[in-house]
Amino acid sequence: MDKKKKLLGVTAASLVDLKAELFRKQEEFKHEKLTKAAGGVPKPRAAPKKPSIWSKQNTGVTARAERDMEEKTEEDDSLAKSRKRLEEKAQLYEKMTKGDFPDEETEELYLVDFAQKIIDKQNEIQDFCQKERKKIEEEERTPSLPIPAPQNPGEEWVDYVDSLGRSRRCMKKDLSELLKMDKDLQGKKPIAQDKTLLSEDMRKEMQRQQWEQEEEEALKRPMGPLHYENIRDNEARQLGVGYFSFAQDEQTRQKQMDTLNMLRDQTEDQRVKRERLKAKRKAMLDARLAKLRQKKMKQLKGEGVELETVQDEEEEMIGPEPVVPVENKKVEVVVQERKDTKPGAPHIREWDRGKEFTLGRWSKVCDNLRNERDPEFAPPSFYASDQRMSEKSRNTKWKQGGPNYRSQGATSSGLAHDYRSQGATSSGLAHDYHSRGATSSGL
């Protein structure tokens, strides 16, 4: 007995399950014993069923559930304690604001002087009451001043009742505007439908009588055109901003039509004026451009450019006037002759007119530019020596009959690069080849 008993970690749920299983086994044993005593055939035992995967629980689930219950209980206890503490603080603060302190020592424990706050609050209330009392007394002592006589009839003071049933006072000159504002305000308010004793049949009968009256009026009117407003019959459909509601009276309708036609004529006149002003501005701009062209032509004449070339360029810039295309079903065949059939007189293309493809002019320009250049920015001297050597080698090849481009694997782009280094363009080369009697196929 002196030895300490080893405590087993068995839960209450496990003990309940064990007792239930033990009771079930005892009942089965008693039932079998009674069956054997009666001489009956014992009932075969049912094979234990295999537990399903859903009935099996993971290890430690029960322990975690118990821990959660314990934690929840602790949280509830702490929450109840906090609430109780806060309620005690609220009651204590309410007592302190009222000045209910148990003794003076307790009052000195707090940093806030609640007694002084109570006194200040009472003083503020007393001051406010005194001011209100003085104000009322002054109003009672002061006699009502008479309204001064108006200098003109518009400054007379009048009383009226607004749309909300309030009595108002204003000058006579402002009365019309205030009444208009009240009327607009009353129109914006939703009109509550008054309860009537009319049944549905009575309402339909009144509507039928109104229709009959409208038909009789229509029969009495003289025969004339029928308009949409005459048959609209107070429909609630909104026809948009572009719709104009004409009057049913023919004379009023005609006046409205005349007004609309007058407005349309005014709009058309303003449109024509805008078009004329736009055309005038365009003419002024064209005249200004013409002056600039003349100035440019004078400058080009000074440089030696032909007048025809300048005019062609001007026409290309401006463009021809638009011509209305005329359908012509006949097919016209135009035979054109080449102008470069004569040897030594190559054909000059339209876009090459006025261009000079001489190397002498470019060399002169290069020499002028080199003379104007600062020696500090000139390229090294060996560049010029290499360029002279390359020019000599090229001149030697040309004198020998020209290089074999196919054997050397040269491309058209390489040839173009070589020609550009000599300051010549493709059109200039073509001119040179024609003068020598060479063709493009030979190249």
Query: Which DSSP symbol is given to 209?
Result: H
Distance CA 208, CA 233 (A): 13
Q: What angle do CA 162, 164, 169 make, to 5 degrees?
A: 30
Query: Which DSSP symbol is given to 375?
Result: G
**In a 3-state reduction of DSSP, which class is residue 169?**
strand
Report which secondary-structure segment, H or E, holds 157: strand 157-161
- Are 161 and 133 members of one domain? no
- Per-residue pLDDT tens digits of the chain, which is 443 residues long: 455 555 566 677 888 888 899 999 999 888 888 887 776 555 566 666 676 777 777 778 888 989 999 999 999 999 999 999 999 999 988 888 887 776 777 777 777 888 888 888 889 999 999 999 998 888 777 766 666 677 888 888 888 888 888 888 888 889 999 999 888 887 765 555 555 667 888 888 888 888 888 888 878 877 777 787 777 776 777 787 888 888 888 889 899 999 999 999 999 999 999 999 999 999 999 999 999 999 989 888 876 655 455 555 555 555 555 555 555 444 455 555 555 555 556 667 778 777 765 545 566 677 788 888 888 888 887 777 766 666 666 666 555 554 444 444 433 444 334 444 444 344 443 344 444 443 333 33
Distance CA 227, CA 190 (A): 33
Position 221: which residue type?
R
| Each residue's pLDDT tens digit, 179-210 | 998 888 877 655 555 556 678 888 888 888 88
H helices within 222-306, ranges in order?
228-231, 250-303
| Full residue range of the structural domain in which residue 311 is found | 249-315
Q: Kindly calculate the radius of gyration of the chain based on its CA atoms and give it in whole angstroms.
A: 59
Residue ranges with strand state E in 190-339: none
Residue 83 falls inside a structural domain: no
With beta carbons less than 8 A apart as the criterion, state whether 416 and 405 touch: no
Residue 172 falls inside a structural domain: yes
Paired with 160 in beta bridges are 168
* DSSP one-letter string for 125-152: HHHHHHHHHHHHHHHHHSPPPPPPPPSS
Q: Give the per-residue pLDDT at 287.
A: 94
With beta carbons less than 8 A apart as the criterion, state whether 214 and 231 touch: no
- Are 161 and 134 members of one domain? no
- Are 110 and 164 members of one domain? no
- Are 379 and 424 members of one domain? yes
Query: Which DSSP symbol is given to 242?
Result: T
Distance CA 244, CA 142 (A): 62
With beta carbons less than 8 A apart as the criterion, state whether 310 and 297 touch: yes
Q: Give the per-residue pLDDT at 82.
A: 95
Distance CA 91, CA 89 (A): 5
Distance CA 49, CA 308 (A): 116
- Are 172 and 119 members of one domain? no
With beta carbons less than 8 A apart as the criterion, state whether 384 and 375 touch: no
| Each residue's pLDDT tens digit, 407-432 | 444 334 443 344 444 443 444 433 44
Residue 11 falls inside a structural domain: no
**pTM for this prediction:** 0.25
Among 112, 138, 164, which residue terminates a domain?
138
- Are 304 and 375 members of one domain? no
Distance CA 154, CA 158 (A): 10
Residue 35 falls inside a structural domain: no
Tokens in use for 427?
Answer: 């059109």
- Are 396 and 442 members of one domain? yes
Among 266, 292, 315, which residue terminates a domain?
315
- The total of structural domains in the chain comes to 4
- Are 360 and 299 members of one domain? no
Residue 179 falls inside a structural domain: yes
Q: Which residue has tokens 């607004």?
A: 162
Q: Give the per-residue pLDDT at 438.
A: 38
- Are 360 and 443 members of one domain? yes
Distance CA 353, CA 309 (A): 7
With beta carbons less than 8 A apart as the criterion, state whether 170 and 178 touch: yes
Residue 350 neighbours by CB distance under 10 Å: 7
Distance CA 338, CA 346 (A): 10
Residue 419 falls inside a structural domain: yes
With beta carbons less than 8 A apart as the criterion, state whether 416 and 342 touch: no
**In a 3-state reduction of DSSP, which class is residue 229?**
helix
Among 293, 315, 337, which residue terminates a domain?
315
Q: Give the per-residue pLDDT at 408.
A: 42
Q: Which residue has tokens 């309708």?
A: 253
Residue 114 falls inside a structural domain: yes
Residue 282 falls inside a structural domain: yes
- Are 362 and 434 members of one domain? yes
Distance CA 306, CA 314 (A): 13
